[in-house]
Amino acid sequence: MNPVTANVLQVSALVAALALAHRPFGDYMAAVYSSPRHLRVERWIYRCVGADPEAQMRWPAYLRGVLAFSLVGVLFLYAVQRFQDVLPLSLGFAPISPDQAFNTAASFVSNTNWQSYAGESAMGHLAQTAGLAVQNFVSAAVGMAVAVALVRGFARARTGELGNFWADLTRGVVRVLLPVAFVAAIVLVATGAVQNFAGPHEISTVSGGTQHLTGGAVASQEAIKELGTNGGGFYNANSAHPFENPNGFSNLLEIFLILLIPFSLPRTFGKMVGSVRQGYAIVAAMGVIWFAGVVAVTVAEYAHPGTAAQLAGGAMEGKEQRFGEGSSSLFAVSTTMTSTGAVNSFHDSFTAFGGGVTLLGMMLGEIAPGGVGSGLYGMLVMAVIAVFVAGLMVGRTPEYLGKKLGTREIKFAACYLLVTPALALGGTALAMALPDGEKAMTNVGPHGFSEVLYAYVSGSNNNGSAFAGFGADTPFFNTTIGLCMLLGRFLPMVFVLALAGSLARQTPVPATAGTLRTEKPLFTGLLVGAVLIITGLTFFPALALGPLAEGLS
């Protein structure tokens, strides 16, 4: 079959599957977070942590729950890594160094899953399952809880109550993530993914040497790694490793899992605010940007001007023959436009413009469709900005879903938008000004700059992917990128929850003839434009120094 035809069919099948899942899965999540009932296992969890699931929280209390839970997660995961050698199932691996343990703990708790280590030669089975895999579940559930709190801010009136964090967290894990991940893990095992607690196996290589391959609970970790938009691989090669991603079907399944919750949450939003058309407007904006990214990267990789690339049918460096340019491009865009960070090819080997689009996908804030929870609340903040701009254009007070957007709300939205650019650009500038940045680059010129820029954009936006070859395992990068991951995750949550509390206290205003219809295609276009313009103004100079300069040279 012609590769282009195969890619079109693959994207069509993926879009069809997501469209079929959008309504029932989105409705199910709305029912989960709106249900007055608590399952028996949930009540047991509440008793264990001493939480009252019926107690309603205002935004400061909700935020304290998020921060306290995440702090405990960081400390626990750090301790597991530092004492790995004395814990069971360590496979004889040494404890992780202090700076790398901090970086990894910050990474997995913040849903970034940036890795400066090779998993199969550094982490034992206990650290992988009880440490990293557990955080894959709960960090994703934290993002979903914050998104639901913001949705309640739009849906509720004359109250500052946003729900109960402990109930939202528990329901996200028990009712959403665990069941889907369980089924997905079984399917991955059926396709050939590894699932065991075996130690290293010595095998003979084609060159006559030997190699040690570590087994492990790979399929179960792979399932939640993609479903929770985490991205941390059991193996250093991530989803390019055949034990994690055995064939073309598993590859497409993993992409589907990455996009399932982010593309379904807008339906949850529409159901909870009482207008599913509002959800359609949000998911349409997400879909337009995602599809444009897929087309752009695919064209860039197929149209590489080099002679070798033309003979091979496209730029094949850094891509497996199993998947080729089309599947690699689809996977790359889907992971960088969510907060996943998983890779089935290496973005460092993409063409300048192809790699630039993956970088831009993160710079957008990973809102098309974004991470689990973070994509929805990021796009809703952008919707607030878009409505505000539209209000300025027509000279009236902006309103969104019956809530007036005054000075207080716009300040929260503006602060949200400024956090990650400040961290990403500030971190890049610091690294480039010090010898550490130059030593870590494996390339010179614009491509080397792109490696450093990509690392800090990935960390600050909680993505976790990297330009392969970048030497990030140093105390400087482990510490600075670790801080960027924590601040990039939790500072925006502060402003999102503050915005939610401000909206929930308002009395809804009735729609008038001058009210902007935010469920119409016109608003979807305005929202897409606002996303691209704000990102372009913020990051264009950095892109011009990196991928654009490389591509035009």
What tens digit of pLDDT does each residue of 389-429 get?
Answer: 998 887 777 899 999 999 999 999 999 999 999 999 999 99
For residues 323-350, give the mean pLDDT: 89
Angle of helix 475-504 relative to helix 59-82, nearest 10 degrees? 160
For residues 510-514, give the mean pLDDT: 80
For residues 434-462, give the mean pLDDT: 89
Q: What is the dihedral of CA 282, 288, 294, 300, to 10 degrees?
A: -140
| The pLDDT value given to residue 306 | 62
For residues 465-489, give the mean pLDDT: 90
| The pLDDT value given to residue 321 | 73
Q: How far is CA 90 from CA 82, 95, 123, 238, 442, in A?
A: 12, 9, 7, 21, 32
Is 520 in a helix, a strand, or coil? Answer: coil
| The pLDDT value given to residue 314 | 60
For residues 202-211, give the mean pLDDT: 76
For residues 189-198, give the mean pLDDT: 91
Of 527, 510, 543, 542, nearest to 157 by C-alpha is: 510
Q: What is the dihedral of CA 216, 218, 221, 225, to 10 degrees?
A: 140
**Distance (Å, whole) CA 233 – CA 225:** 8
Q: Give the containing element (helix H, strand E) for 202.
A: strand 200-204
Residue 472, pLDDT above cutoff 90:
no
| In-domain check, residue 102 | no
| The pLDDT value given to residue 445 | 86
For residues 230-255, give the mean pLDDT: 92
Residue 310, pLDDT above cutoff 60:
no
**513 close to 394: Cβ distance less than 8 angstroms:** no
Residue 305, pLDDT above cutoff 70:
no
| The pLDDT value given to residue 311 | 54
Q: What percent of the chain has pLDDT over 70?
A: 97
**Distance (Å, whole) CA 251 – CA 330:** 10
Residue 277, pLDDT above cutoff 80:
yes
**Distance (Å, whole) CA 104 – CA 114:** 7
| The pLDDT value given to residue 130 | 92
Of 343, 341, 499, nearest to 410 by C-alpha is: 499
| The pLDDT value given to residue 214 | 82
| The pLDDT value given to residue 504 | 96
Please state whether 468 falls in left (phi above 0), alpha (psi between -120 and 50) or beta.
Answer: beta
Of the listed ranges 8-17, 292-301, 427-436, 511-520, the least confidently predicted one is 511-520
Is 532 in a helix, a strand, or coil? Answer: helix
| The pLDDT value given to residue 175 | 98
Per-chain mean pLDDT for the chain: 91
| In-domain check, residue 529 | yes
Of 504, 493, 498, 484, nearest to 66 by C-alpha is: 493
Domain range for 514 is 374-546
**Distance (Å, whole) CA 183 – CA 193:** 14
**Distance (Å, whole) CA 382 – CA 385:** 5
Neighbours of 5 (CB within 10 A): 10
| In-domain check, residue 432 | yes
| In-domain check, residue 35 | no
Q: How confident is the model at residue 73 (pLDDT cuts 50, 70, 90)?
A: very high
| The pLDDT value given to residue 308 | 56
Residue 552, pLDDT above cutoff 90:
no
**Distance (Å, whole) CA 381 – CA 411:** 11
Helices (H), 434-474: 435-440, 445-460
| The pLDDT value given to residue 483 | 97
| The pLDDT value given to residue 461 | 95
Question: Residue 265 corresponds to which amino acid?
Answer: L
| In-domain check, residue 121 | no
Looking only at the bridges linking them, the beta strands covering 210-214 and 200-204 are: antiparallel
Q: How confident is the model at residue 528 (pLDDT cuts 50, 70, 90)?
A: very high
| In-domain check, residue 311 | no
For residues 499-525, give the mean pLDDT: 91
For residues 72-76, give the mean pLDDT: 97
Residue 1, pLDDT above cutoff 70:
no
| In-domain check, residue 399 | yes
Q: How far is CA 337 from CA 133, 272, 294, 526, in A?
A: 22, 25, 10, 19
- Which of 516-532 are b and which e, b meaning 16 or more Cβ less than 10 Å from the residue's Cβ? bebbeeebbebbbebbe
- pTM for this structure? 0.95
| The pLDDT value given to residue 511 | 81
Q: How confident is the model at residue 466 (pLDDT cuts 50, 70, 90)?
A: confident
| In-domain check, residue 224 | no
| The pLDDT value given to residue 316 | 67
Which tokens belong to 396? 């009236």
Rg of the chain, C-alpha, whole Å: 22
Instruction: Quickly count helices (H) and strands (E) in the chain.
Output: 21, 4
**Distance (Å, whole) CA 524 – CA 230:** 28
Q: How confident is the model at residue 473 (pLDDT cuts 50, 70, 90)?
A: confident
Helices (H), 395-474: 407-433, 435-440, 445-460
Which tokens belong to 520? 């119409």
**Distance (Å, whole) CA 135 – CA 129:** 9
Residue 4, pLDDT above cutoff 90:
no
Looking only at the bridges linking them, the beta strands covering 200-204 and 403-404 are: unpaired
Q: How confident is the model at residue 258 (pLDDT cuts 50, 70, 90)?
A: very high
**Distance (Å, whole) CA 380 – CA 146:** 12
Q: How far is CA 243 from CA 247, 307, 324, in A?
A: 10, 33, 18
| The pLDDT value given to residue 272 | 97
Of 236, 439, 529, 465, nearest to 334 by C-alpha is: 465
For residues 323-345, give the mean pLDDT: 90
Residue 173, pLDDT above cutoff 70:
yes
| The pLDDT value given to residue 318 | 67
The owner of tokens 């002679």 is 307
Counting the structural domains of the chain, the total is 1
Which tokens belong to 14? 């993926």
**Distance (Å, whole) CA 65 – CA 223:** 27
Of 92, 87, 91, 134, nearest to 113 by C-alpha is: 134
Which tokens belong to 260? 């399932």
| The pLDDT value given to residue 309 | 58
Of 253, 262, 190, nearest to 230 by C-alpha is: 262
- Which of 171-197 are b and which e, b meaning 16 or more Cβ less than 10 Å from the residue's Cβ? bbbbbbbbebbeebbeebbeeebbbee
Q: How confident is the model at residue 551 (pLDDT cuts 50, 70, 90)?
A: confident
Residue 204, pLDDT above cutoff 90:
no
Q: What percent of the chain has pLDDT over 90?
A: 72
Of the listed ranges 66-75, 342-351, 458-467, the least confidently predicted one is 342-351
